[in-house]
Amino acid sequence: TCESLMEGAVVLRQFALAETDQLLAGIRQVTAQAPLRQMKTPGGHTMSVAMSCCGEQGWVTDSRGYRYQPEDPVSDQPWPAMPEALYRFAGRAADAAGFPGFEPDSCLINCYRPGAKMGLHQDRDEQDFSQPIVSVSLGLPVVFQFGGLKRNERPIKVPLAHGDVVVWGGPARLRYHGVLTLKAGEHPLTGACRYNLTFRRAR
Ligand code: MD3
Ligand code: FE
């Protein structure tokens, strides 16, 4: 099923369900080389979400700011290559949502444990905002917040479950968004964790 949340935002419920094993295997492969870590914001806070990346560009934050870079700052080595299954999946999801030809160069792996959250923010570290973003939810469910183009617009709440995919493009690309605090729970495939894969074209 396919719902339009707001112009440019498409929810593909359970679109990843048949492929969660391959996607989770990709996460395991990447995080074995580039372990999940809680990065620091420029303001000096430690993020509650643990992150890793794969692909040509990885998103990082530290005291110097938010940015994409080709090396993992923990190892100073290039980020692991994006597993083929992940790259192909992102392209198929973008196609299904009406954004053909998506070629992500970056996949951020977010790991939420109970208590973790992500405050309202915009994704604006990418070069070309005409490129969509594909996000895949795996494991524990969460409530996603989807706001406006200004931080003060009241966000709508969207529950996201294991296998749900959301594609954000066009006029939705710069909307504020966030994730409410993850509640305690156990998922048969991920344990006490929600993973989110966020595919982007950084450059
Ligand atoms: C809506 N991650 O890593 S992905 C992020 O569930 C991030 O981990 C969230 O926001 C998570 O930056 C949500 C969904 C998402 C990504 C980009 C968007 C939603 C968006 C850009 C515009 C509007
Ligand atoms: Fe975001």
Condensed to tens digits (0 to 9), the pLDDT of residues 38-48 reads 999 999 999 99
Can you tell me whether residue 37 is helix, strand or coil? strand
The predicted pLDDT at position 5 comes to 74
123 C-alpha to ligand 2 centroid (Å): 5
pLDDT number for residue 4: 80
**Superfamily of domain covering 2-184+193-200:** Alpha-ketoglutarate-dependent dioxygenase AlkB-like (2.60.120.590)
Cβ(68)–Cβ(59) under 8 Å?
Answer: yes
List, in sequence order, every residue forming a beta bridge with 160; answer none if it has no partner. Answer: 142
Q: Is 162 strand, coil or helix?
A: coil
**Model confidence over 130-177: pLDDT tens digits?**
999 999 999 999 999 999 999 999 999 999 999 999 999 999 999 999
Write down the pLDDT at residue 1: 67
Among residues 28, 36, 76, which one has the least CA distance to residue 53?
Answer: 36
| pTM for the structure as a whole | 0.97
Ligand 1 pocket, mutate which of 196, 197, 199, 201 (most atoms under 8 A from CB): 196
| Cα 94 to averaged position of ligand 1 atoms, centre (Å) | 15
- Given a contact cutoff of 8 angstroms between Cβ atoms, the answer to whether 171 and 8 are in contact is yes
Q: Where are the domains of the chain?
A: 2-184+193-200
Q: State pLDDT tens for residues 63-117.
A: 999 999 999 999 999 999 999 999 999 999 999 999 999 999 999 999 999 999 9
Question: Mean pLDDT throughout 188-202?
Answer: 98
